[in-house]
Amino acid sequence: MRRSWVSIFTVYAPMLGVPVLLYLYIIFNAFHLGTASNAVLYLSMLGLAVFAIVGFRDVFIDRQKPRHFLDLKEAAGQTVHKTDMDTTTHEDAKIVEMRIKRFNPQSKLLEENTYRARVDRYSSVLDTIIDIKRKQDPTIAMRYSCRMGICGSCGMVVNGKPVLACETNVFKNMKEDASISVAPMQGHPLLKDLVTDFDDFFSRHASISPHLHRTDETEKYEAKKEYIQTKDELNKFLPFSYCIMCGLCVDACPVVNVNPMFIGPQALSQVQRYYADSRDQLGERRLDMVDKLTHVWDCEFAGACSVACPKGVDPAFTIQMLKTEIVRKNLTGK
């Protein structure tokens, strides 16, 4: 599900169209062209407004993408009060109530199911959901693989925060009523239950040319000697190369969630990762690549991405660094 071309007309045309019409309205009034023309203008503005509203709705339906600011309708799901029959008890075990919001692809609603599971002080949210899936409800869908916070599969929203489920301890995150609420990331199109669609996310990442560019391609691939890189040069890009592509920053970003044209924090952080690498020879062409309204200049520095990032990449900081570099380049020409 790629970003629809429809959104170009439905989001941007109205955004440009409304100021143009306002300008015309002022001109018309200034020249006293009469009420008939005004009526036409008012009507066409109303039409555009309707067009915009319908357009926005289209974007959402197209991407199956509920937004944070649009509270997704929730249906009453069933409550499953089953506890697994695990007999290995010990005094420190507790029962947790997992309230899992599951996206139903048929009804397009989020349905909350409640499960109870036995946990101990080592249990992660991921362990607990896998346990529930295996013993109580095999239809639960979520992604997981490495369970050690490095593959980036299990991003979800736990107690309202976008986190990796495998790194989230149950005991530490239990609410007072011994419950935990889990929901899918809503900054990506929903697919089923806790699973979201990453195609758009990956194509954004691919669009910023995320690889080392060398002027001499043969020399790049037929490596007989390593490139020399000092520790300082390494440290300039190292923090930004920790990105595991989990998508949590995009889920957290308030800008990309209202403006789907903004490329988002993950891709931009990776521009900085390659721009700062002393081995890369694309140089300032990387800056030209992102010196656009839809790239760095759409970032409003809310910083949510950096709070959400489980690997400390700090995308918000990288975007401001890119802005600084672009300004420096444009002002000094160097």
Partner 1 sequence: MEVLDYDTVILGSGLGGLTTAIHASLKGQKKIKIAVVTKLHAMRSHSVSAEGGISGVLYPEATNDSIELHAYDTVKGSDYLADQDAVEILANSAPDEIRFYDHIGVSWNRTDSGSIQQRPFGGMSIPRTAFAADKTGFFMMRALYDEVVGLGNVDIYHEHFVTSLFMDGKRFAGATAIDLATRAVKLFRAGTCVIATGGFSRVYGFTTTAHSSTGDGIALAYRAGLPLKDMEFVQFHPTALVPSGILITEAARGEGGYLKNNKGERFMEKYAKSKMELAPRDIVSRAIVTEIKQGNGYTHKESGMPYVHLDLTHLDAKLLDERLPMIKELSIKSINVDPHTEPLPIRPAAHFTMGGIHVNTHGQIMLDAKGVPAGGMWAVGECGCVSVHGSNRLGSNSLSQCSVWGRIAGNAIPEYIQKNPSSAGKDILKQAEAEEARINGLLENRGTVNPYELQSRLQKTMDDLVYVYRKTSELTAARDAIRELRGQYGDIYITDKGREFNSNLRDTLEIENLIDLAEVVVEGAIRRKESRGAHAMVEFPKRDDTNYLKHTIASRKDGGLGIDYIPVTLTRWEPEERVY
According to CB under 8 A, which residues from 176 to 195 bind partner 1?
A: 191-193, 195
* Residue closer to partner 1 (CB basis): 67 or 220: 220
Binding to partner 1 by residue 2, rule CB under 8 A? no
Residue from 35, 87, 88, 215 that binds partner 1 (CB under 8 A)?
88
Q: Where in 39-68 is the site for partner 1 (CB under 8 A)?
A: none
Kindly report the backbone phi and psi dihedral angles of residue 262, in degrees, each rounded to the nearest multiple of 5, phi listed first.
-65, 130
Which residues, numbered 125-154, are part of the site for partner 1 (CB under 8 A)? Answer: 127, 130, 133-135, 137-139, 141-153
Report the residue number, 81 or 225, with the smaller CB distance to partner 1: 225
**Residue 238 interacts with partner 1 (CB under 8 A): yes or no:** yes
Which window, 23-31, 71-79, 122-130, 299-307, contacts partner 1 (CB under 8 A)?
A: 122-130
Closest to partner 1 by CB, 79 vs 229, is: 229
Does 85 engage in binding with partner 1 (CB under 8 A)?
Answer: no
Q: How far is the CB of 168 from partner 1 (least distance, A)?
A: 9
Question: Among residues 225 and 334, whose Cβ is nearest to partner 1?
Answer: 225
124: contact with partner 1 by CB under 8 A: yes
Report the nearest approach of partner 1 to the CB of residue 205 (Å). 8
Contact flags string 271-310 toward partner 1, x per CB under 8 A: ---x--x-xx------------------------------
Residue 62 CB, shortest distance to partner 1, in Å, is: 16
16 binds partner 1 (CB under 8 A): no
Q: Is 94 in the site for partner 1 (CB under 8 A)?
A: no
